Amino acid sequence: MTFNVQAVEIPVQAAICAVLFASLSSCANVPLQEGTSLGSYTGMVASGGSLTKAKLRVNSPVVLAAQTVRIVPTTVESARGSFDAKDLALLTNAVDRALCMGLSNRFKVMGLNQPADLVVHAMVTDIVATNQAIAATSTVATLGASVAHVPIPRIPIGLGGLSAEAEAVGQDGSQQAAMIWSRGANMVTTKARISAVGDAYSLSSAFGADFSRMLVKGQDPFKGTSSTRLMQKIKAAFGSEPKYDACKAFGAAPGIKGAVASQFGLPPSWSDKGATASQ
């Protein structure tokens, strides 16, 4: 009796591909939840994309009429005390950096002690920790596969995530825009980083970009197409110089060094030096 090995290889390979394809959408589940930092949570409507959950409201006429903005440094709810303080500082600063970069596309960003048409403040409401051991295993497997030129997705367990909220208030203190946001890391587009806040840090720029784009456009940032987000990614990738002095306080984006660190699974602290001035 003969056994045709090649005849068996094809269905086995097909089965493996089918399993991988079916699991491409695997991502951490991060519930959308209200924090305690917004002046109001009423009147918000559900929105978001294929990976992001969100609720938001925006007073378009007022937001579009505004020309200047001030960013109050992002905070973390006290319940997040189980994470290293330095890691949390890098995470919140990354949110502020992304906000500053995005808002610079239309607004003049003012310093902390300067008046502005809108004042923006964000809060990290939840962090789903990244399993560092599994992240390390994923990194080793990915690097090994890249040498053999075989693409391999991240191990779809132990993924982290981020939940955050932000608002923009006018000079009279009234809320003009608000957003509640959550997103989990996924096995395809989120690089594994060996840090408890690795995935949350990686997702911080997406949150900053979504909220700042809502203010720049004066409407739901998840609807329609925009070149703004693409330009933000390009600027961040090359660690471009901030447009305004107020943004320099949040430090330069890690740029190419950050991309290398992400590729090798290194923690955010390896490439991100954080804020450059006292907040």
Per-residue pLDDT, averaged over 68-84, amounts to: 89
pLDDT reported for residue 221:
96
Q: Higher model confidence: residue 257 or residue 34?
A: 34
For the whole model, what pTM was predicted? 0.84
The rounded distance, in Å, linking the Cα atoms of 205 and 186 is 15
pLDDT at 107: 98
* Sequence letter at residue 224: G
* Residue 59: band (very low, low, confident or very high) from pLDDT cuts 50, 70, 90: very high
62-71, 206-215, 235-244, 256-265: lowest mean pLDDT where? 235-244
pLDDT digits (tens, 9 = 90+) for 192-223: 999 999 999 999 999 999 999 999 999 999 99
Residue 18 phi/psi, 5-degree rounding, is: -65, -40
Angstrom distance (rounded) from CA 164 to CA 5: 53
> Span 42-57, mean pLDDT?
95
From first CA to last CA, the distance across the chain in angstroms is 77
- The number of helix segments (H) and strand segments (E) in the chain equals 8, 7
Instruction: Please give the Cα distance from 30 to 36 (Å, whole number).
Output: 17
Q: How is the chain split among helix, strand and coil, in percent rounded to 5?
A: 40, 20, 40
CB 250 within 8 A of CB 93: yes
Comparing 75-89, 115-129, 221-235, which segment has the lowest mean pLDDT? Answer: 221-235
CB atoms within 10 A of CB 88: 20
SS3 99: helix
Spatial contact of 171 and 124, defined as CB atoms under 8 Å apart: no
